[in-house]
Chains A and B, each alone.
Chain A
Amino acid sequence: MKSNLKVFLKGILDVSPLMIPVVPFGLIFGVLAIDVGFSPLETMGMSLIVFGGASQIVLLQLFSGGASSLVIISSVGAVNSRHLLYGAVVSEHLSDLRLIWKIIISYFLIDQAYAISNEYLKKNKDKNRYFHLVGAGATCWVIWQSTTFLGIILGAAIPEKLGLSFAVPLTFLALLVNDFRKLINVIVIIVSGLVATVGYNYIPFKAYAIVAGLTGLLVAMILTKMVKTNE
Chain B
Amino acid sequence: MSNWALIIYCGLITYLTRFSMIALIKKEMFNDRVRQVLSYVPSAIFPAIIFPAIFLDSSGSILIEDNPKILAALIATLIGIFSRSIIATIFSGLASYWFLIFVV
Contacts and interface: CB of A to CB of B under 8 A. Distances in A.
A and B are interacting partners:
yes
Interface of A: 20-21, 24, 38-39, 42, 45-46, 49-52, 55-59, 61, 63, 65, 69, 72-73, 76-92, 94, 97, 99, 102-103, 105-107, 109, 162-163, 165-181, 184-185, 188-190, 192-198, 200-201, 208-210, 212-217, 219-221, 224
Q: Which of A92, A165, A216 has the most CB of B within 10 A?
A: A216
Given A69-B9, A190-B47, A197-B52, A85 B22 contact: no
Contacts of A92: 26-27
Contact of B45 (A45, A105, A216): A216
Contact of B22 (A49, A55, A106): A106
Interface of B: 1, 3-11, 13-15, 17-27, 29-30, 35-56, 60-62, 69, 72-73, 76-77, 80-81, 83-87, 89-91, 93-94, 97-98, 101
Contact of A90 (B21, B53, B85): B21
Contact of A49 (B7, B24, B48, B93): B7
Nearest to A28: B90
B20 A87 contact: yes
Contacts of A105: 22
A87 B16 CA distance: 12
30 contacts: A38-B3, A50-B14, A55-B10, A77-B13, A77-B17, A81-B17, A83-B21, A88-B25, A91-B21, A102-B19, A102-B23, A106-B18, A162-B98, A163-B97, A166-B94, A169-B51, A170-B73, A170-B76, A173-B76, A173-B89, A173-B93, A176-B43, A176-B80, A200-B52, A200-B56, A212-B45, A213-B44, A216-B48, A217-B44, A224-B40
A89 B80 CA distance: 27
Q: Which of B4, B6, B35, B85 has the most CB of A within 10 A?
A: B6
A140 to B, nearest CB: 13
Interface SS, A side? helix
